Amino acid sequence: MADGSDPGTADEDEGAVPAAAREEVVESVRRALAKHGYADLTTAKVAAESEKSEAFFFYHYDTKDDLILAFVDWAADRLTRRLSDLDGEDPVVRLYAACEVLLGDYEDETSRGINVAMMELLSHAPHEPAFRERLERYERGVLDDLAGILRDGVDAGQFREVDPESTAAFLLMATDGTAGAVMALGMTDVDAGVREGLFDYLERSVLAPGVSPPEGYR
């Protein structure tokens, strides 16, 4: 899972929780999850990643899991906005840019922290229905965004007659797996090779004959 823009731009969709408080919460949860993992996480450890007191977090959220769900919702909103920002672009540019967003940037602390935290939560999703529902919604939202880009490209004659849903699923699994290995395990040596293979696949199997990759991918 990947991602990297300003956390403070998240929409305020947490009801009565002010935007500034939500930003403080999600950033603290992100750092605490990456450092301690879910099993060892406590509200006190989340508060230790902030200048706020533990009472501040309990004032806005009732439980540790509520804090985590707020973080997942924020991460999903953030990724949705980053993909939505590509809407005005040419479908070819949008597809390559979307793959870059999903692969993430190891040098970006926020992007790396989100990926590590999300992978930690995925391991608990089979036994935590609330996590599973949120994370599945997160992944299906990305699938919908990718499929939409692919449909636009097919309709414009810039992509081959690929199946948008199955191609989107392949791209998501490829980027998810790579982001996990690079961000969580630090396997930066595989990143360049996977990117090369992925973009070669797009050029050979997705772009229509005569359509070139964006500048910088040729």
**CA gap 180, 183 in Å, rounded:** 5
For 178-213, how does the pLDDT look when each residue is reduced to its tens digit (9 = 90+)? 887 888 788 888 888 888 999 999 999 999 999 999
Position 5 scores a pLDDT of 41
The verdict on residue 190 lying in a domain is yes
The verdict on residue 2 lying in a domain is no
The verdict on residue 213 lying in a domain is no
**CA gap 195, 57 in Å, rounded:** 40
For 79-133, how does the pLDDT look when each residue is reduced to its tens digit (9 = 90+)? 888 888 887 779 999 999 999 999 888 888 878 878 878 877 888 888 889 889 9
The verdict on residue 125 lying in a domain is yes
Which of 4-8, 71-75, 128-132 bottoms out in mean pLDDT, i.e. has the lowest? Answer: 4-8
- CATH number assigned to the domain comprising residue 105: 1.10.357.10
The verdict on residue 114 lying in a domain is yes
Identify the domain containing residue 159 by its residue range.
7-206
The verdict on residue 115 lying in a domain is yes
DSSP per residue, 138-163:
HHHHHHHHHHHHHHHHHHTTSB-S--
Q: Domains in the chain: how many in total?
A: 1
pLDDT over 70 at 22, yes or no: yes
Q: What rounded mean pLDDT belongs to the chain?
A: 86
The verdict on residue 167 lying in a domain is yes
**CA gap 17, 20 in Å, rounded:** 8
